[in-house]
């Protein structure tokens, strides 16, 4: 099993450009999450999907949209990138919401200039 995969690993965008970060898991997990990690701050939840067909906002959703394409895939879209969105983005999954450990992808390092 590959676990949780993310593409791309690195990306540089100019302000105003758009892009989609891809995440896929092969563990048949129901719940998936997008986090961002910034220096000096803990991981913060952007959006999550408790199950296929549902998505909900997390702590910092502004400037982002998500799509739960199917049970395996959960994508994060930046419609008009801003320098404040420079961060490392992690996707994670769990069998279901609640008392389960989270499995993380390798991360995407995004720089917006």
Partner 1 sequence: KNEVEQSPQNLTAQEGEFITINCSYSVGISALHWLQQHPGGGIVSLFMLSSGKKKHGRLIATINIQEKHSSLHITASHPRDSAVYICAVDNTDKLIFGTGTRLQVFP
- Which residues partner with 92 through β-bridges? 33, 104
Per CB under 8 A, does 19 bind partner 1?
A: no
- Alpha-carbon distance of 40 to 55, in angstroms, equals 28
86 binds partner 1 (CB under 8 A): no
Query: Closest separation between CB of residue 28 and partner 1, Å?
Result: 18
Report if residue 43 touches partner 1, rule: CB under 8 A: yes
**C-alpha to C-alpha distance for 111 and 85, rounded to whole angstroms:** 8
Q: Cα angle at 46 between 84 and 91, to 5 degrees? A: 105
Residue 10 touches partner 1, criterion: CB under 8 A? no
Residue 100 binding partner 1, by CB under 8 A: yes
Cβ partners under 8 Å of residue 112, min gap 6:
12, 13, 14, 15, 81, 82, 83, 84, 85, 86
CB of 88 to partner 1, least distance (A): 7
The binder of partner 1 chosen from 5, 19, 55, 58 (CB under 8 A):
58
Q: What are the residues binding partner 1 (CB under 8 A)? A: 40-45, 48, 50, 58, 88, 90, 97-104, 106-107, 109
């Amino acid at each position: 099993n590959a676990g949780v995969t993310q593409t791309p690993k690195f990306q540089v965008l100019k302000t105003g450009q758009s892009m989609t970060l891809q995440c896929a898991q092969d563990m048949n997990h129901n719940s998936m999450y997008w986090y961002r990690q910034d220096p000096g701050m803990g991981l913060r939840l952007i959006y999550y999907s408790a199950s296929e067909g549902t998505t909900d906002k997390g702590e910092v959703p502004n400037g982002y949209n998500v799509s739960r394409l199917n049970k395996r895939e959960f994508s994060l879209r930046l419609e008009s990138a801003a320098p404040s969105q420079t961060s490392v983005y992690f996707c994670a999954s769990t069998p279901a919401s609640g008392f389960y450990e989270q499995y993380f992808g390798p991360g995407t390092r995004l720089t917006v200039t």
